[in-house]
Amino acid sequence: MALDKPYQDIPGTIIFDAEQARRGYWLNQFCSSLMQAENRARFKADERAYLDAWPMSEEQKQAVLARDLNWCMRTGGNIYFLARLGATDGLSFQQMAGSMTGMSEQAYRDMMISGGRSPAGVVGTPPAPGPCRPGPGLARISASVYTSHVPAIGVAIDQGRTEEPYWQPLFAGYAASRQWMLENRPDVILLVYNDHATAFSLDMIPTFAIGCAPEFKPADEGWGARPVPVVQGHPELAAHIAQSLIQQDFDLTIVNRMEVDHGLTVPLSLMCGQPPADHFSWPCKVIPIAVNVVQYPAPSGRRCFQLGQAIRRAVESFDAALTVQIWGTGGMSHQLQGARAGLINRGWDNAFLDQLIADPAALAQRPHIDYLREAGSEGIELVMWLVARGAMADVAGGPPPRLRQRFYHVPASNTAVGHLILENT
């Protein structure tokens, strides 16, 4: 990969980055389980049996059994999680640190009493200033897709009601898009959506989060999980994007395990159709990018637009030949609460679509209050469309995108539905 990792040149040091976190997820989860006394007792009674209950690699299990902390870290372990293993063995942090140096316990203590280890011996040339190298990346964003993600649309699909008079006009509006998707299938979709109090509770609400797991199960939102495939991720690209964005000063939350709700699965159903039972998988891999639009304040349209630009730079520095699409979902105008519930603003919605196509930089300057007053309290979801639009080539000085589809329909349950496809040219 072309992304800078200068810390790989520091001898005797293993940095726990997004790639390591993905690799060591279950190893670190095992270590966390040892924070409970009953689990420590079960582990000590039969270490191999306890380890076999976790989906860790055989190498990780052998590293644990050998109590080789350096080996554990090479396979994705983090020292703060591995400390639970050391504590289970009755070791102090100093004893664990000493075990990794090749020194005896007494020699390590003497070294620390003498002032600790000198940093001398670091090799390599310091990296040039800047968050990441441009690099000869091979991945490219080919198109952006914009669509509402109404839960009732998923219900209509799942229950075979798409030809009913109420629903038929809406699904007809996506027929050309499904054909376009068949002809322009990407390797990976970066799907920008908001979690609807499913994966994230009020205990933790990240402003921006990226899913780095190998798969994401459909969530049960209270009515049972949708009968759709498990979403297959692309952890290598996701980890690369996460590191690149954080180096570009976006405080991104890395999520290594989560379920995905209708905000992500309904757009897939609209664009890809419902996979048949004998081929129960989506046609390409998906990286979820979750944006908080549930608890105020949501990120500004300007910040979302900047995030899209940073995502494009991250994708283009990934050194693998991948075709990538980015989807912005949510909206359009709708309000689900209070005396204004049922608000729809056709004029505002269509003006938003016009400006999103022709002048997204100006659209990104709209303040939150415009969305709330004109598009409804839940219309703020439209800021997520600016993430996808910011990732398009014209924003970085390339040619204007080609408009391949535009559709607008009222209503779908409580919501106005909007849809665009823009191709990079």
Please state, in angstroms and rounded to a whole number, the distance separating the CA atoms of residues 243 and 5: 9
Residues 6 or more apart in contact with residue 165 via CB below 8 angstroms: none
Q: pLDDT tens digit string along 405-416? A: 999 999 999 999
Check whether 166 has a pLDDT greater than 90: yes
Catalytic residue set: 262, 334
Please state, in angstroms and rounded to a whole number, the distance separating the CA atoms of residues 330 and 399: 27
Q: pLDDT tens digit string along 104-162? A: 889 989 999 999 888 765 444 444 444 444 455 789 999 999 999 999 999 999 999 99
Please state, in angstroms and rounded to a whole number, the distance separating the CA atoms of residues 159 and 208: 33
Please state, in angstroms and rounded to a whole number, the distance separating the CA atoms of residues 178 and 150: 18
Q: pLDDT tens digit string along 241-258? A: 999 999 999 999 999 999
Cα Rg for the chain, rounded, in angstroms?
24
Q: pLDDT tens digit string along 328-370? A: 999 999 999 999 999 999 999 999 999 999 999 999 999 999 9
Length of the chain: 425
Q: pLDDT tens digit string along 386-412? A: 999 999 999 999 999 999 999 999 999
Single-letter code of the amino acid located at 85: L
Short-list 286, 254, 294, 270, CA closest to 383: 294
What separation in angstroms does the CA of 345 have from each of 49, 301, 377, 388, 410? 60, 19, 12, 22, 10
